[in-house]
Amino acid sequence: MYEVRTAVLENNKKTSIITIVLFLIIVALEAFFLYITLTGNSIAVEAFAPIEFSENVTYNNNKLYDKEDFFAYTIPQPIYEEGIPSKEIMVALTFDDGPSSYTSRLLEILKKYNAKATFFMVGDNVGYYPDVIKQLLDYGCEVGTHTQSHANLNASSNDQIDYQIGNGKKVIEDITGQNVKFLRPPYGNKNQTVIDICQSKGLSLILWNVDTEDWKSRNTDTIVNKFLNDTDDGDIVLMHDIYGTTIDAVEILLERLTKKGYHFVTVSELYKYKKGISLEPGKAYYGM
Ligand SMILES: [Zn+2]
């Protein structure tokens, strides 16, 4: 009988302890949630808020994504000098064979989307459009030479190469008063003489790694699709500002891609922001 009574008392004691512990836990939880509710405290935000995504920043990709569902984490990125963090998507649009009657419209589109570009001009054309050349430079675009008369430098004598590059550079400088520092050789053709002359005249050779073939299709949709399929982060893209279809394609691409956070920069900016380097005379650059 005594044992039974003791057992019952022991049981009651255990039940009481469990009840008290549960009560204390509930009180503690209540107090915690009341604290969060009243203070809107950042403990709750930091601990439970979903990670915020940014559509403007990319992290580990090396590809232009043209998908509506593309998002990426915001992470710290190195910044070379002043400018855009190196990990962000940057593309250098380049336009050959102008200037033309289309160039001023292209400039307005670039301005609308805060995009910069690099122009490689044919010396024979520059005298017809002096104002737009100055406006391009004032806005922050870069201008290089595409030789005096679009010569195939690999099929030219040394004297011809010297004239094509030297005069092509000079006619732009006469208009702008600024040093021309870039050559894009027509057809991408260059030999050691071309390289040596560029070195002596302070010119870097700017080639490309994406050809939109805008000169071949002259079709806006084809140019847009080729660009989206072929272009990666860090690329130099070849286009021509002598076709209306190219200008239309650029407008579509800038409208779609700048709002996704892509940066359209000059060739110098591309290397400065991506690699932290300046372009050197006599060296060839193809994009990354
Ligand atoms: Zn050309």
pLDDT tens per residue across span 216-257: 999 999 999 999 999 999 999 999 999 999 999 999 999 999
Q: Which two tokens stand for residue 235?
A: 């690329």
Q: What is the pLDDT of residue 20?
A: 77
Q: What is the pLDDT of residue 45?
A: 37
- Alpha carbon of 186 to ligand 1 centroid (Å): 5
Handedness of CA 107, 111, 112, 115 (dihedral sign): positive
> Would you say residue 63 has pLDDT above 80?
no
Q: What is the pLDDT of residue 10?
A: 66
Mark the residues whose beta carbon lies below 5 A from ion ligand 1: 96-97, 186
Q: Work out the average pLDDT over 45-63.
A: 39
pLDDT tens per residue across span 105-143: 999 999 999 999 999 999 999 999 999 999 999 999 999
Q: Work out the average pLDDT over 156-180.
A: 98
The Cα 198–Cα 204 span in angstroms is 7
Q: Read out DSSP for the chain?
A: -HHHHHHHHHHHHHHHHHHHHHHHHHHHHHHHHHHHHHHT-HHHHHHHSPPP-BSS---S--S----TT--B--------SSSS-TTS-EEEEEEES---TTHHHHHHHHHHTT--EEEEE-HHHHTT-HHHHHHHHHHT-EEEE--SS---GGGS-HHHHHHHHHHHHHHHHHHH-S---EE--GGG---HHHHHHHHHHT-EEE--SEE--HHHH--HHHHHHHHHHH--TTBEEEEETT-HHHHHHHHHHHHHHHTTT-EE--HHHHHHHHHS----TT-EE-B-
Q: What's the whole-number average pLDDT of the chain?
A: 85
pLDDT band at 149 (very low <50, low <70, confident <90, very high): very high
pLDDT band at 59 (very low <50, low <70, confident <90, very high): very low
pLDDT tens per residue across span 246-285: 999 999 999 999 988 899 999 999 999 999 999 999 999 9
The Cα angle at residue 213 between residues 209 and 218, in degrees rounded to 5: 155
pLDDT tens per residue across span 8-42: 556 677 777 777 777 787 778 777 665 655 554 44
- Alpha carbon of 152 to ligand 1 centroid (Å): 10
What is the residue whose two structure tokens read 């021509």? 240
Radius of gyration of the chain (CA): 31
- Known catalytic residues? 96, 240
Contact between residue 238 and residue 94 where contact means Cβ atoms under 8 Å apart: yes
Contact between residue 180 and residue 169 where contact means Cβ atoms under 8 Å apart: yes
- Alpha carbon of 148 to ligand 1 centroid (Å): 11
- Alpha carbon of 84 to ligand 1 centroid (Å): 30
- Alpha carbon of 212 to ligand 1 centroid (Å): 13
Q: What is the pLDDT of residue 206?
A: 98
CA 156, 193, 166, 216: dihedral to nearest 10 degrees?
Answer: 60
pLDDT tens per residue across span 194-210: 999 999 999 999 999 99
> Is this prediction's pTM over 0.85?
no
Q: Which residues pair with 217 in a beta bridge?
A: none
Q: What is the pLDDT of residue 16?
A: 77
- Alpha carbon of 45 to ligand 1 centroid (Å): 57
Between 56 and 254, the more confident residue is 254
Q: What is the pLDDT of residue 68?
A: 40
> Would you say residue 169 has pLDDT above 60?
yes
Query: Backbone phi, then psi, for 85, in 5-degree steps?
Result: -55, 140
Q: What is the pLDDT of residue 129?
A: 98
- Alpha carbon of 96 to ligand 1 centroid (Å): 5
Domain over 90-285 is classified CATH 3.20.20.370: yes
